[in-house]
Amino acid sequence: MRKNKLTHLLEPSLRLYFLFLLIFALISLLFSWPMAVAELVVVAILYFYFRRSNAQRQKEILNYIERVSTNMDSATKDTMVNSPLPMVIFRPENDEVIWSNSRFLQITGEREHMFDMKITDAVPDFSSRWLMEGKTECPTEVRLDQRRFLVFGHLVRTEDSSSRGYLATTYWVDITDFAQTRDAYYANRPVVAILTLDSYEELMKGISDNAKSALLSEIEEKMAAWAAPAQGLFRRYDRGRYLFVFEERCLAQFQEKKFDLLDTVHDIVSPNGIPATLSIGIGKDADSFQDLFQYASLSVEMALSRGGDQAVVKNKFNFEFYGGRTKELEKRTKVKSRVMANALGELVADASRVLVMGHKFPDLDCIGAAAGVCAIARKKGTPVCIVREPGQNPASDMVERLAALPEYHEVFVSPQDALVLADASDLLVVVDTNRPEQVVSEDLLAAVNKVAVIDHHRRAATYISNAALNFHEPYASSASELVTELLQYLLEPADLLRAEAEALLAGVVLDTKQFTMRTGSRTFEAAAFLRRSGADTGDVKKLFQNDLEGTIARYDIIQNARMYRDGVAVAVVDHTVGRVTAAQAADELLNISGIDTSFVLFPDGDRVIVSARSMGDVNVQVILEKLGGGGNAATAGAQIQSATLDSAARSLLRAIDQYFEDE
């Protein structure tokens, strides 16, 4: 059958020409039959000659193709048998070996052909899934004894009378020498670490010089003992700062032990009773020592912005976090607030317009901080706009209250209108968040050249970089507290509207849980300033009142709570509830004896919302960071995209387990 098809393909299609010659001969009968007979004879002779020569030519071509095919089959067989690369043919459905050459038998240690065996019997770590996925190269190296191989292959579909299936042909390239050289290169690459005592001022305050020397000597002894196994360069290069350069092969050991130096140093207590805390910033995977030092500096900055007492590792692409479980100590100075206030005042005065933007689904702290920035812009005589997220949110009542004031006429604008208004001389002030993906409009953030950030949340792996001003204090209770501190240096209490003062006080009250959580002396100083500015605590309290329906929904969530670990309660709600209601339920759970950490989960479309609260030693931000969330040690949240409630709950429980296992 195949030979007839091939013969047909090789036959020239000249029938049309003979047909026309025959027609011309028949037409000649109308004029001269002798001429027509002669033409018919010539056409017949040409046709029979064509048939004979064509048959001879087809025979010669078929013989040639047969010889080539035979030679190719021989060459193919010889190549497979004598291939310089190990080869094996098997069925990927069940890993049954069909054939292998002698070189493959050598690398597997088999003495006979592997008929009726599975390839996984000879190579336990091998998986053929990548072939079924359409790939031609195994994505990982395959280890066989002490050798490493890169495996290439392809699939061929087979059909016989009994079944259909695939045959996989694989070629095994020995890359052991290359892999060992590569591993040695990576293991010997330099890593730069910066270790800083983030509690240096508190440790040294009010003690004698001898006590200072003894305390530093004890700390440095612990640090040197920790660094000694790496046989690197360890030197102090500034007050409370140390440089550690070592090889990358030792980094895995430090990571495996979760940088236990943090706990070792934390056990050292000054004569004043203040424990020492250390932050470690590590830079790796860079092209030069300058870049490594830059990575390490960014890591230390990240660690300090997250509250200190932790280690951060940065490579070319992302950050890794270790530690960060202890409560932050308030160690802000008014010097920094004064400097930041002056800098922000100059930026506002020089701008043609100030745009204020918070995070999505803003709360009272976000709107309060935005109102404080508006007061600064009004004092400087600069036009100001607040970017308002459409729809209802926890701060909608406060927004409506502010929008009704004459000073706030047309101040609230949509993200689209703000994007139209923005120009090169505008200043964008981002409040209550430092993550670009959480702002109301990422397009506006990218469009404005000059950005200022005021935030109190611990910094995550993604943050707004290259800001002209970054007033970031994770030790503060709220963004409203930070803005209030700036206001004290930029305007008088009488310059602040009563509604603005109450908005700021409401933000402080919200994030401190009625001044019971994360409060310091600066928090009460800020509240006193707002009280002098006209804030009425009774009116602020009314902002936190709930209707009967919301109260019933909150207690319904509490009824779903279950104790998961000692002191940890998890409430999984199988229907959508308000975010404010869920957050309030998480707060309410902390009022129950025996609960110091709470989590509330509920579905919201194709995502699951998580609210977390803590009043003990559990850092809920570290837990929810594993789910893509953030916040601070006492208050955190997360939005798990494209997840079911059950899968999100399992992910949360795994994150909680991992947190306690790492302690």
CATH code of the domain containing 109:
3.30.450.20
Whether residue 206 sits in one domain with residue 131: no
pTM, full prediction: 0.65
Whether residue 311 sits in one domain with residue 225: yes
Whether residue 409 sits in one domain with residue 536: yes
* Nearest-angstrom CA–CA distance, 338 and 345: 10
617-638 pLDDT, tens digit each: 788 888 998 888 887 778 888 8
Print the domain residue range for 243: 188-323
- Which tops the pLDDT comparison, 243 or 473? 243
> Tell me, what's the pLDDT at 10?
45
pLDDT at residue 440 tops 80: yes
Give the three-state DSSP class for 44: helix
pLDDT at residue 521 tops 80: yes
> Tell me, what's the pLDDT at 442?
92
pLDDT at residue 24 tops 80: no
Instruction: Please check whether residue 604 lies inside any domain of the structure.
Output: yes
> Tell me, what's the pLDDT at 2?
47
* Domain end among 509, 542, 575: 542
* Nearest-angstrom CA–CA distance, 305 and 220: 24
Whether residue 115 sits in one domain with residue 47: no
- Please answer whether residues 92 and 128 qualify as being in contact, where contact means their C-beta atoms are separated by less than 8 angstroms: yes
- Please answer whether residues 328 and 310 qualify as being in contact, where contact means their C-beta atoms are separated by less than 8 angstroms: no
Whether residue 500 sits in one domain with residue 562: no
Whether residue 510 sits in one domain with residue 578: no
Instruction: Please check whether residue 329 lies inside any domain of the structure.
Output: no
Instruction: Please check whether residue 489 lies inside any domain of the structure.
Output: yes
412-439 pLDDT, tens digit each: 999 999 999 999 899 999 999 988 988 9
CATH at 319:
3.30.70.270
Average pLDDT over residues 499-516: 90
* Domain end among 323, 346, 367: 323
Whether residue 254 sits in one domain with residue 237: yes
Whether residue 270 sits in one domain with residue 409: no
DSSP string, 11-23: S---HHHHHHHHH
> Tell me, what's the pLDDT at 512?
87
Quote the number of domains for the chain. 5
Whether residue 101 sits in one domain with residue 76: no
CATH at 618:
3.10.310.30
> Tell me, what's the pLDDT at 67?
61
Instruction: Please check whether residue 552 lies inside any domain of the structure.
Output: yes
- Please answer whether residues 46 and 14 qualify as being in contact, where contact means their C-beta atoms are separated by less than 8 angstroms: no
- Please answer whether residues 498 and 536 qualify as being in contact, where contact means their C-beta atoms are separated by less than 8 angstroms: yes
Instruction: Please check whether residue 163 lies inside any domain of the structure.
Output: yes
Whether residue 97 sits in one domain with residue 57: no
* Domain end among 300, 323, 346: 323
Instruction: Please check whether residue 278 lies inside any domain of the structure.
Output: yes
| Tokens standing for residue 631 | 């916040």
Residues 6+ apart with CB under 8 A from 171: 83, 85, 86, 87, 151, 152, 153
Give the three-state DSSP class for 146: coil
Dihedral angle, C-alpha 328, 334, 336, 338, nearest 10 °: 150
> Tell me, what's the pLDDT at 108?
83
User: Residue 185: is it exposed, middle or buried by C-beta count within 10 angstroms (0-12/13-18/19+)?
Assistant: exposed
- Which tops the pLDDT comparison, 209 or 518? 209
User: Residue 68: is it exposed, middle or buried by C-beta count within 10 angstroms (0-12/13-18/19+)?
Assistant: exposed
Instruction: Please check whether residue 572 lies inside any domain of the structure.
Output: yes
Calculate helix-pair angle for 334-350, 364-380, nearest 10 degrees: 60
Instruction: Please check whether residue 75 lies inside any domain of the structure.
Output: yes
- Which tops the pLDDT comparison, 14 or 297? 297
Percent of the chain with pLDDT over 90: 41
CATH at 350:
3.90.1640.10
79-96 pLDDT, tens digit each: 555 668 888 888 888 888
Residues 6+ apart with CB under 8 A from 352: 382, 383, 423, 425, 426
364-404 pLDDT, tens digit each: 999 999 999 999 999 999 999 999 988 888 888 899 999 99
- Please answer whether residues 398 and 503 qualify as being in contact, where contact means their C-beta atoms are separated by less than 8 angstroms: yes
Whether residue 199 sits in one domain with residue 175: no
Whether residue 479 sits in one domain with residue 375: yes
**Ramachandran region, residue 109 (left: φ > 0; alpha: ψ -120 to 50; beta: rest):** left
